[in-house]
């Protein structure tokens, strides 16, 4: 089963890190990732730019509008995600626990099973 592990945190915390703090967290996260890469379980990983770089396209009442910035005003922002192939939810939770231990300031990790959509292939 494929899982998305979504990483949330208060981006004002992570953007305040020094280069050295950021480099350390990234090294520690890479150490966690390496084990899953070597096992052939880790797919794409993405670190998102700050929400100030976001653009939102919204469709409402028959109109489409484009606005700068994120749509939601929240205390935590989606900062990145992992795609991981696990035999169970427990295994995906173990991965998220390891990420959390490697990043002590992490806000939360949301784990969601994925349903793949392959363009050009019709669902059966």
pLDDT score recorded for residue 118: 74
User: pTM for the full model?
Assistant: 0.82
| Domain 2-49+75-113: top CATH class | alpha beta
- Interval 18-68: pLDDT, tens: 999 999 999 999 999 999 999 999 999 999 998 888 888 888 788 988 888
Positions of E strands within the chain: 2-9, 42-47, 55-60, 63-68, 77-85, 108-113
Q: Where are the domains of the chain?
A: 2-49+75-113
pLDDT tens-digit readout, 80-96: 999 999 999 999 999 99
Both tokens of 52, joined, read 């100030």
Task: Tell me the C-alpha distance between 13 and 9, whole Å.
Answer: 8
Residues in the chain: 124
- Comparing CA positions, the residue from 56, 45, 102 lying closest to residue 79 is 45
């Amino acid at each position: 089963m494929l899982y998305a592990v979504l990483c949330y945190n208060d981006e004002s915390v992570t953007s305040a890190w020094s280069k050295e703090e950021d480099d350390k967290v990234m090294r520690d996260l890479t150490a966690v990732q390496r084990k899953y890469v070597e096992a052939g379980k880790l797919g794409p990983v993405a670190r998102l730019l700050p929400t100030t770089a976001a653009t939102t396209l919204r469709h409402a009442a028959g109109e489409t509008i484009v606005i700068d910035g994120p749509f939601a005003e929240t205390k935590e922002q989606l900062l990145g995600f992992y795609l991981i192939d696990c035999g169970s939810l427990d295994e995906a939770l173990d991965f998220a626990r390891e990420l959390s231990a490697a990043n002590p300031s992490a806000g939360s990790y949301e784990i969601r099973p994925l349903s793949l959509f392959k363009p050009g292939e019709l669902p059966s």
